[in-house]
C-alpha cells in the first residue's frame, strides 16, 4: 500500500521556483493577445514559453509552472501545452498545464500535467467557513459534516453517526478547519495529471489525482462543493452538489447526486441519490431508481426501479434507512422509513408496506401479498445461493484497483461483525422455535404491522448458521495455525468481542472505537491525521483480533474455555466436510444455469454460448 501523495496547496506551490516576468516576456505575452491588470502579480517558472499563452487574461495573483512548446493528448484529443483563451484569477498552476477554453478559472491550485478543456465556469471561495456542508443520512441536516481532501468514508461515518457526543463533534469540526487552513484556506484543489473536459459549471471542487492514480471529469453538467478521490471518474451528464467521493468511484450517465458520501470502488449511474452515506463497493447503475436518507454499509447493489427514500410516512421528521453489508433489494423495491436490515439481506421484488427491522443476516425477505404476510428465510445465501456468496467475497477484493487505500476495508462476507450477527440471529430463532413447538415459526418485531412474519425453514436456517460460524472460524484458524492445535493463549484470557463497528469498511472492536473517541475528546488524538494513524494501527492488529475472535467463537460452540486435541480434530473434519459442501453447491449453482434451456435459447449453439458467457 502506497502512502497518499501530499496534494496540498502549499506543496504544489513549492514545486516550481516561480519568478517575475521580464519586460521582454510581458511584451511577447501582450503581442499574443494576453492582458493583465498588473503583470507584476503574474509569476512563472522556467522553462517558460510565452508563445504558449494566447488570448488569455490574468487577474489577481497568478502563478504558472513551466511551459514548453509540446503537445498533450487525451485519447483522440491533442492540445498544445499552455494557456489558450482562458481568463485566470488568483490561480496557481503546476508544471506543464494545458488550459484551453476555460471561460473562467478562479481560486484554484492545480498540480502538474493538468488538462482542462471547454469548461464554462470553474471557481471557488477562499474562505473554508463559507463552504457548503453535506447533510447525509438525514434530510433535516442533523448529521451534517464538512468534507475535505483526504476525508474517508469512515471519517464521514464517525462524524455523522456519533451525534450524541458533543465534545467529539466540536473536535471534529475544529480538526476540519485546521486541515483546511493547513491547505492554504482554499477548497479549490486539483492534483497531478487531472483531466477535466466539456463541463459547464465547477464550484468549490477538490480533485485528488496523481501520476500513479489520475482522476478525470468529462462531459458533466455541474459539480459544486465536493471532493473527488484518487482514480475516480465523473462523466456523461452528472450533476453533483455537496458530495464526497472515495478512491476509484465512478459517477456517470446522468446521475443526480447531493449531500452524499460515496465509498471507494463504487459505481453510480442513471439514478438519483441524496442525503446518504454509502460504504465501499456499492453498485447502483439502473434507470428510475433512487436512494435517499440512507446508510448503506457497502458491498451492496440497488436494482432498477428501486424507490428507497424517506417518504413522509409519519407526523415526525423524515426517517432514515440503515442497511448492513451486502444489502441487495430486488427490482422495484420500495420501503418505509425508518427501516433497518442485517448484513446480506436479499429482498424480493415488492412494495413493502411498513417499516422493517430484519434481524436475520444472509436472509431472503419477501412480501407475500396473496397471504398478506412478511416472509423471511434465514441463511438463504448459504443454502441456495452459494455461488453468489463465494463470488461476492472474492470479487470485491479482486476489483479493488486503489493505489493508496486510505480507507481500510474488510471484504470477506464472513467476518467478526457478521459472525456476531449470526449468533444473535440463532438466539432469536431458538426462541421463536420454542414458542412455535411443532407448528409454523413466526417472528416478532421485524415489521411495524399487525400482520405476522413467517420464518421459512427456521430449523434448516439454524443449522446453516452454525455451519457458517464453523466455516468462518476454521478458515482463519487453519490459515494461522495449519493443522496444529491452536494455543489457548490465543484467547488472551479475555471475553469474546461481541460488538464490532463497521467504520466505513474497516471493522473495529467497539472497545477500541470507544477508546478512539475518548482520545479525541481528551486531546490525545489532536487531528484527522492522528485519527487516521490510530486506525492504521488498529488495522494492523485486526488479523490477530479476528483470529482470537474465531478461536473464542469455536470455544463457545463447543461449550468450553479452550479446545483440546479431540475437539480440534472433530472441527477439522467438520470444516473439511463444509468445504466439500461449498464446492458442491457452487458447482450446482452454476450447473443450473448451464442446463437451463431458457438461459441458452438465445444462442445458436454451445460454441456461441461459450464465447459470450465464458
364-368/77-80 β-pairing: unpaired
pLDDT at 108: 94
Of 281, 282, 258, 286, which is closest to residue 270 (Cα–Cα)? 286
Q: How far is CA 33 from CA 19, 22, 70, 83, 469, in A?
A: 22, 17, 20, 12, 73
Q: Measured between alpha carbons, how far is 303 from 331 in angstroms, rounded to an integer?
A: 5
Q: Measured between alpha carbons, how far is 279 from 156 in angstroms, rounded to an integer?
A: 10
- String of DSSP letters for 190-227: E-TT-EEEEEEEEEEEEE---SSS--EEES-SEEEEEE
Q: Measured between alpha carbons, how far is 459 from 470 in angstroms, rounded to an integer?
A: 17
Q: Which three three-digit cell numbers place residue 194? A: 487531472
pLDDT at 310: 64
Of 488, 481, 461, 478, which is closest to residue 555 (Cα–Cα)? 488
Q: Helix or strand or coil: residue 241?
A: strand
Mention every residue, 6+ apart, whose C-beta is less than 8 A from residue 106.
59, 88, 89, 90, 91, 122, 123, 124
pLDDT at 438: 87
Q: Helix or strand or coil: residue 109?
A: strand
506-509/500-503 β-pairing: antiparallel
528's enclosing H/E stretch is helix 528-558
291's enclosing H/E stretch is strand 289-292
Mention every residue, 6+ apart, whose C-beta is less than 8 A from residue 556.
423, 496
Q: Measured between alpha carbons, how far is 62 from 283 in angstroms, rounded to an integer?
A: 41
**Mean pLDDT for back-to-back runs of 10 residues, the chain (614 residues):** 63 74 98 97 96 97 95 95 97 96 96 97 79 91 93 98 97 93 74 97 95 97 97 98 98 97 97 96 89 96 88 64 96 93 97 96 97 97 91 90 97 98 98 94 95 96 98 97 91 90 98 98 98 98 97 96 96 97 86 79 89 84
Q: Measured between alpha carbons, how far is 521 from 166 in angstroms, rounded to an integer?
A: 9
The pair phi, psi for residue 479, each rounded to 5°, is -65, -35
Pair 359, 445: CB distance under 8 Å: yes
Summarize the chain as % helix, strand, coil (round to 5). 35, 25, 40
- String of DSSP letters for 258-269: EEEEE-TT-EEE
pLDDT at 4: 73
Mention every residue, 6+ apart, whose C-beta is less than 8 A from residue 355.
319, 335, 336, 337, 338, 339, 447, 448
274 burial type by CB count under 10 A (0-12 exposed, 13-18 middle, 19+ buried):
buried
Strand extents, DSSP E, 71-172: 71-74, 77-80, 82-84, 88-93, 98-102, 105-106, 109-110, 115-123
pLDDT at 392: 85
Q: Measured between alpha carbons, how far is 33 from 9 in angstroms, rounded to an integer?
A: 30
Q: Measured between alpha carbons, how far is 142 from 157 in angstroms, rounded to an integer?
A: 13
Of 533, 247, 535, 243, which is closest to residue 405 (Cα–Cα)? 247
pLDDT at 15: 61
Q: Helix or strand or coil: residue 65?
A: coil
**How many angstroms from the chain centroid is the CA of residue 329?**
18
Mention every residue, 6+ apart, whose C-beta is less than 8 A from residue 569.
none
**Beta-carbon count within 10 A of 398 CB:** 10
Burial 355-392 (b: 16+ CB within 10 A, else e): bbebbbbbbbbbbeeeeebbbbbbbbbbbbbbbebbeb
Q: Helix or strand or coil: residue 279?
A: coil
pLDDT at 596: 80
Q: Which three three-digit cell numbers place residue 419? A: 459472525
Pair 42, 36: CB distance under 8 Å: yes
Torsion of CA 326, 331, 332, 338, to 10 degrees: -20
Q: Measured between alpha carbons, how far is 208 from 290 in angstroms, rounded to an integer?
A: 27
Amino acid at each position: 500500500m502506497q502512502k497518499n501523495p501530499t496534494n496540498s496547496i502549499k506543496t504544489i506551490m513549492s514545486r516550481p521556483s516561480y519568478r517575475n516576468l521580464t519586460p521582454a516576456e510581458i511584451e511577447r505575452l501582450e503581442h499574443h493577445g494576453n492582458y493583465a491588470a498588473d503583470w507584476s502579480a503574474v509569476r512563472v517558472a522556467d522553462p517558460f514559453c510565452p508563445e504558449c499563452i494566447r488570448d488569455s487574461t490574468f487577474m489577481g495573483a497568478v502563478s504558472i509552472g513551466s511551459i514548453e512548446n509540446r503537445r498533450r493528448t487525451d485519447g483522440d484529443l491533442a492540445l498544445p501545452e499552455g494557456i489558450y483563451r482562458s481568463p485566470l484569477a488568483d490561480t496557481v498552476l503546476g508544471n506543464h498545464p494545458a488550459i484551453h477554453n476555460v471561460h473562467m478559472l478562479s481560486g484554484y491550485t492545480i498540480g502538474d500535467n493538468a488538462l482542462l478543456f471547454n469548461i464554462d465556469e470553474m471557481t471557488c471561495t477562499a474562505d473554508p467557513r463559507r463552504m457548503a456542508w453535506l447533510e447525509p443520512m438525514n434530510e433535516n441536516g442533523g448529521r451534517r459534516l464538512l468534507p475535505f481532501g483526504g476525508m474517508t468514508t469512515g471519517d464521514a461515518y464517525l462524524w455523522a453517526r456519533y451525534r450524541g457526543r458533543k465534545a467529539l463533534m466540536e473536535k471534529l469540526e475544529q480538526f476540519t478547519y485546521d486541515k483546511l487552513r493547513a491547505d492554504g484556506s482554499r477548497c479549490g484543489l486539483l492534483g497531478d495529471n487531472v483531466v477535466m473536459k466539456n463541463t459547464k459549471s465547477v464550484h468549490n471542487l477538490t480533485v485528488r489525482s496523481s501520476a500513479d492514480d489520475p482522476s478525470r471529469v468529462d462531459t458533466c453538467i455541474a459539480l459544486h462543493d465536493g471532493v473527488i478521490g484518487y482514480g475516480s471518474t465523473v462523466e456523461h451528464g452528472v450533476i453533483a452538489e455537496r458530495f464526497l467521493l472515495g478512491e476509484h468511484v465512478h459517477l456517470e450517465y446522468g446521475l443526480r447526486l447531493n449531500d452524499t458520501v460515496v465509498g471507494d470502488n463504487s459505481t453510480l449511474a442513471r439514478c438519483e441519490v441524496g442525503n446518504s452515506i454509502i460504504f465501499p463497493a456499492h453498485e447502483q447503475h439502473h434507470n428510475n431508481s433512487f436512494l435517499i436518507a440512507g446508510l448503506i454499509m457497502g458491498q451492496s447493489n440497488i436494482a432498477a426501479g428501486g424507490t428507497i427514500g424517506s417518504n413522509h410516512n409519519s407526523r415526525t421528521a423524515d426517517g432514515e434507512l440503515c442497511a448492513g453489508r451486502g444489502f441487495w433489494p430486488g427490482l422495484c423495491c420500495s420501503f418505509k422509513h425508518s427501516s433497518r436490515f442485517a448484513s446480506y439481506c436479499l429482498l424480493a421484488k415488492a412494495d413493502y408496506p411498513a417499516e422493517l427491522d430484519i434481524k436475520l443476516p444472509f436472509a431472503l425477505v419477501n412480501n407475500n401479498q396473496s397471504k398478506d404476510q412478511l416472509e423471511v428465510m434465514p441463511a438463504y445465501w448459504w443454502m441456495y445461493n452459494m455461488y453468489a456468496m463465494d463470488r461476492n467475497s472474492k470479487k470485491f477484493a479482486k476489483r479493488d484497483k486503489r493505489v493508496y487505500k486510505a480507507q481500510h476495508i474488510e471484504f470477506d462476507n464472513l467476518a467478526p461483525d457478521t459472525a456476531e450477527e449470526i449468533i444473535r440471529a440463532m438466539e432469536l430463532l431458538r426462541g421463536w422455535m420454542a414458542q412455535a413447538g411443532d407448528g409454523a415459526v413466526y417472528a416478532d418485531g421485524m415489521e411495524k404491522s399487525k400482520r405476522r412474519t413467517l420464518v421459512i425453514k427456521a430449523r434448516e436456517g439454524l443449522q446453516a448458521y452454525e455451519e457458517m460460524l464453523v466455516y468462518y472460524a476454521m478458515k482463519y484458524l487453519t490459515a494461522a495455525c495449519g493443522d496444529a492445535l491452536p494455543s489457548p493463549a490465543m484467547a488472551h484470557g479475555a471475553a469474546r468481542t461481541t460488538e464490532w463497528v463497521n467504520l466505513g469498511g474497516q471493522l473495529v472492536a467497539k472497545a477500541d472505537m470507544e477508546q478512539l473517541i475518548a482520545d479525541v475528546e481528551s486531546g490525545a488524538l489532536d487531528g484527522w491525521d492522528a485519527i487516521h494513524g490510530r486506525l492504521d494501527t488498529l488495522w494492523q492488529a485486526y488479523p490477530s483480533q479476528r483470529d482470537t475472535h474465531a478461536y473464542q467463537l469455536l470455544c463457545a460452540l463447543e461449550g468450553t474455555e479452550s479446545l483440546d486435541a479431540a475437539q480440534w480434530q472433530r472441527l477439522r473434519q467438520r470444516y473439511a466436510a463444509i468445504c466439500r459442501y461449498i464446492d458442491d453447491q457452487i458447482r450446482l449453482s452454476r450447473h443450473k444455469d448451464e442446463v437451463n434451456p431458457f438461459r441458452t435459447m438465445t444462442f445458436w449453439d454451445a460454441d456461441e454460448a461459450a464465447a459470450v458467457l465464458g
